[in-house]
Amino acid sequence: MLYQIYETQRSLMEPFADLAEVAAKLYANPLSPLGQIPMAQRVSAYFDLLHRLGKDYEKPVFGIRTVDVDGVEVAIHERVEIDKPFCELRRFKRFSDDLPTLDKLKGQPVVLIVAPLSGHYATLLRDTVRTMLKDHKVYITDWKNARLVPLSDGEFHLDDYINYVQEFIRYLQKTYGNCHVMSVCQPTVPVLAAVSLMASRGETTPLSMTMMGGPIDASKSPTAVNNLATQRSHAWFENNVIYRVPTNFPGAGRRVYPGFLQHAGFVAMNPDRHANSHYDYFQDLIKGDMSSAESHRAFYDEYNAVLDMDADYYLQTIETVFQEFKLVKGTWDVKNEKGKIERVRPQDIRTSALLTIEGELDDISGSGQTAAAHDLCTGIATSQHKHFEVPGAGHYGIFSGRRWREMVYPVVKAFILDHQPSKSAQVNSAAPTTSPAARRNRKTAA
């Protein structure tokens, strides 16, 4: 019922938000009669802020059209390689007519970035992707909004998430011989489970695993997020945050943790910071500081765009990761795609190098939570373990912004390169391409 009430309220607010946008432009336009009245700039700023507080934020786009590779502009074509009911495997294919650059691109490592399914869209990692594209072939998991997935597409559990990750890894291994996997925040846990299960079966595992700011062991240095999960029972979450999708969406009737409730939780963690940010935005508009105002818009266009999570997946994650700590206790059983139950055993991983990254000031995944992966992966040789704590970085700083680009990325790049086989080995292990069209594509794309 709450979801329907929210949607009704949002629908009623939408025309007023649109009118506020029009009013803001009219008062800001010096050629408009309204733009000539006293305090027009202040009135425009008021309507602009009203519009942004009341508008509906849709899924953002990555919008990465080109990247600079050693001074050469390389074109990016974004496309979906695998389309699953709850996720798309998205590729950022690089094109260049510069032959030396093209040859360089073809020999670079393949990286699967596993984005979080914890409220925001995968575009939250836009800066991560853009930076990685300079030196890597990049794929990312683009999770879908559960309210857009029809009930006929079935259920989605944490086990399904793990099975998706394994399918994507196998796809890249079949295409390129092998790959590296990088997980940011929430997916560190299911990615470690996915690789562990592959290792236990004797499958080839990724060349390296980079795990950034995730709750491998959420009992270490618990944060406000962790405390909420431990202080509330499984029944409390099911009774208080799970609702059915209203009839005006394709996923009507699906049980979800709604995005608007998640967003309210995000804001509640730092209400003063958000209030001050919106006030500063209002002042920037009055002063005519469009650069600062645009930075505010860019951040909140992403931050305010949230998705619904399937209830089964969300509740299972809360129970497994934050309440029962099944991964670190060695009690986690997962149902594979064939319906067989398998035990998650990180100690079985032997051929995947492990890099963990934490932010010194991370208030979402506390100190030591990600580094705990090293204690679990005892089968990996000591020389293949590496941990990096980012000085002065909060949660978002380890994968976005200046600290990511200047401090974290060089470490990630070097680690992946250290565990990348030689070019000749890649050629011998990669699946052959025989069609004339495919051979022509390889001349210009990587």
Q: For residue 437, is pLDDT > 60?
A: no
pLDDT in tens, 175-228: 999 999 999 999 999 999 999 999 999 999 999 999 999 999 999 988 888 888
CA dihedral (9, 15, 19, 25) in degrees, to 10, reads 100
Question: What is the rounded average pLDDT for all residues in the chain?
Answer: 92
CA dihedral (272, 302, 144, 224) in degrees, to 10, reads -20
Residue at 17: amino acid letter: A
User: What's the confidence (pLDDT) of residue 444?
Assistant: 61
Distance CA 432, CA 436 (A): 12
Contact residues for 298 (Cβ-Cβ < 8 A; gap 6+): none
Classify each residue of 245-268 as buried b or exposed e, where b means 16 or more C-beta atoms within 10 Å of its C-beta: bbeebebeebbbbbbbbbbeeeee
Closest CA to 410 of 332, 357, 343, 344: 357
Q: How many contiguous H segments (helices) and E segments (strands) does the chain have? A: 18, 14
Query: What are the backbone dihedrals phi and psi of residue 100, each rounded to the nearest 5 degrees, phi first?
Result: -60, -40
Distance CA 415, CA 100 (A): 24
Q: For residue 335, is pLDDT > 90?
A: yes
DSSP 439: H
Residue 27's pLDDT band (cuts 50, 70, 90): very high
Mean pLDDT computed over 163-175: 98
Helix (H) or strand (E) holding 25: helix 2-28
Distance CA 243, CA 255 (A): 6
Closest CA to 132 of 62, 191, 81, 196: 62
Residues facing residue 180 across a β-bridge: 111
Q: For residue 425, is pLDDT > 70?
A: no
Q: For residue 434, is pLDDT > 70?
A: no
Distance CA 187, CA 117 (A): 7
Tell me, letter by letter, the H, E, C secondary structure of 43-63: HHHHHHHHHHHHCCCCCCCCC
Q: Which of 74-88, 191-205, 253-267 has the lowest mean pLDDT?
A: 253-267
Helix (H) or strand (E) holding 112: strand 110-114
Mean pLDDT computed over 339-354: 97
User: What's the confidence (pLDDT) of residue 263?
Assistant: 87
Q: For residue 435, is pLDDT > 50?
A: no
Entry field: residues in the chain: 446
Q: For residue 433, is pLDDT > 90?
A: no
Contact residues for 272 (Cβ-Cβ < 8 A; gap 6+): none
pLDDT in tens, 397-413: 999 999 999 999 999 99
With 0-12 / 13-18 / 19 or more C-beta atoms within 10 angstroms meaning exposed / middle / buried, residue 167 is middle
With 0-12 / 13-18 / 19 or more C-beta atoms within 10 angstroms meaning exposed / middle / buried, residue 196 is buried
User: What's the confidence (pLDDT) of residue 423?
Assistant: 66
Domains and CATH numbers, the chain: 2-56+259-303 (no CATH), 66-237+309-441 (3.40.50.1820)
Higher pLDDT, 446 or 236: 236
Residues facing residue 386 across a β-bridge: 355
Helix (H) or strand (E) holding 373: helix 372-376
Distance CA 69, CA 85 (A): 35
